[in-house]
Amino acid sequence: MTERREFLKKAGVFGGSALAFGCNSEQKQTAIHTKKTYEWKMVTTWSPHFPILGEGADKIAKWIEEMSDGRMKIQVYGGGELVPPFESFDAVSGGIAEMSHGASYYWAGKSAATQFFASVPFGMNAQQMHSWIYFGGGLQLWEELYAPFNLVPMPAGNTGAQMGGWFNREINSLSDLSGLKMRMPGLGGKVIAKAGSSAILSPGSEIYTNLERGVIDATEWIGPYHDYLMGFHKIAKFYYYPGWHEPCGTMELLVNKTAFDALPKDLQTIIRTAAGRATAEMLVEFDYQNQIYLQKLKTESKVQIRKFPDEVLEILKNYTKEVIEEIILQDSNSKKIYESYSKFQYEIKDWIDVSEKN
């Protein structure tokens, strides 16, 4: 009864606020803002205007300018235009640029714990991940982790579930992964290393050439839409699922903390709002495009779409546990963050079993 009364009380307050908002709008009150303008730079880990991801960074800049009525303008630079893709973390930390857009697992060399805010192999999907970040304490832990680097992180997109990767050999058993040089970042890269593969980190712009020339033997990227546009179906025979290594792919917006703290509160809110819109829109656009391009791969190419054998997935799942255990034993930040992540995943399981499993 107490919870019901609180719910009704909040509902009443919300309704009253809506009525009050209507009255204020009729009075044509003018908001007073400082006339100071801000011109910022955003670097990214993506090629310029890269579909959905790079375009998402462009949209964030556009939305911020629109919502601020032109008081804040942001110039977006693709990876390599101002700084190399994997130097954007340092660029924002050091004030070369005020913002960046990318994925947190690229910064594992700065702190192993960053990886847990992008994706965890065999972990939560995008919706569950967002729930943990926004309401389960994840965002506070993320901010604490990045504070020593003079950075403010926030979610700014999600790929949703990814595919498992492109191969030129069949994966029938764990031994088929042995000796492979595979492009795979984050925790997933450490898992395949345990399986006998070599995990290679390379920016998206270099993957096709590296696969074509044999610098790598296999690659994961994102999903059907991007993988089709990259042309992987022209140089690889097998396309495997599920993307066990990235059941979601959370994107991040990094903001220089000194610059962010110096902004008026309304501009801080505008930045967070634009990042939140990107988080919602990117996810649904990925689903929309992936279902179209999965069919194109099926009908327009000779690639064979295969499911990883259950025994391979089970072994990789066990390796994932070993990798995480090793990380949290060596790094207190990782331990603290993963304990929060795994506790939330465990607690939400009952609801997922009821609401999503048919």
Q: What is the pLDDT of residues 266-298, one digit of tens each?
A: 999 999 999 999 999 999 999 999 999 999 999
> Can you give the pLDDT at residue 185?
87
By the 8 A CB rule, do 208 and 215 touch? no
> Can you give the pLDDT at residue 198?
93
**What residues have CB less than 8 Å from 130, skipping those under 6 apart?**
155, 158, 250, 279
Is the pLDDT at 325 greater than 50? The verdict is yes
Is the pLDDT at 9 greater than 80? The verdict is no
38-158+248-287 and 165-247+300-352 have identical folds: yes
Provide the edge-to-edge strand list for the sheet that holds 99-103: 72-77, 38-44, 99-103, 250-256, 151-158
**pLDDT band with cut points at 50, 70 and 90 for residue 13:** very low
Report the pLDDT averaged over residues 47-69.
Answer: 97
Q: Which of 127, 146, 149, 145 is nearest to 136 (CA)?
A: 127
Task: Report the top-level CATH class of 165-247+300-352.
Answer: alpha beta
As a whole number, the mean pLDDT across the chain is 91
Lowest mean pLDDT among 22-26, 139-143, 306-310: 22-26
> Can you give the pLDDT at residue 7?
41
Hey, what's the torsion of the CAs at 320, 323, 325, 328, to 10 degrees? -120
**pLDDT band with cut points at 50, 70 and 90 for residue 203:** confident
Report the pLDDT averaged over residues 8-14.
Answer: 45
Is the pLDDT at 81 greater than 80? The verdict is yes
* pTM of the shown model: 0.88
Q: What percent of the chain has pLDDT over 70?
A: 90
CATH match for 38-158+248-287 among 3.40.190.170, 3.20.20.70, 2.40.50.140, 3.40.50.720: 3.40.190.170
Q: Which two tokens stand for residue 136?
A: 């389960």
**pLDDT band with cut points at 50, 70 and 90 for residue 201:** confident
Q: Phi and psi at residue 88, in whole multiples of 5°?
A: -70, -30
Is the pLDDT at 226 greater than 80? The verdict is yes
- Give the residue, 41 or 357, on which the prediction is more confident: 41
> Can you give the pLDDT at residue 204?
79
> Can you give the pLDDT at residue 22?
39
C-alpha–C-alpha distance, residues 354 and 337, integer Å: 27
Domain boundaries, given as residue ranges, for the chain: 38-158+248-287, 165-247+300-352
Hey, what's the torsion of the CAs at 85, 116, 139, 260, to 10 degrees? -20
Give per-residue pLDDT as tens, 113-162: 999 999 999 999 999 999 999 999 999 999 999 999 999 999 999 999 99
**pLDDT band with cut points at 50, 70 and 90 for residue 357:** confident
**pLDDT band with cut points at 50, 70 and 90 for residue 3:** low
Q: Which two tokens stand for residue 146?
A: 């990045």
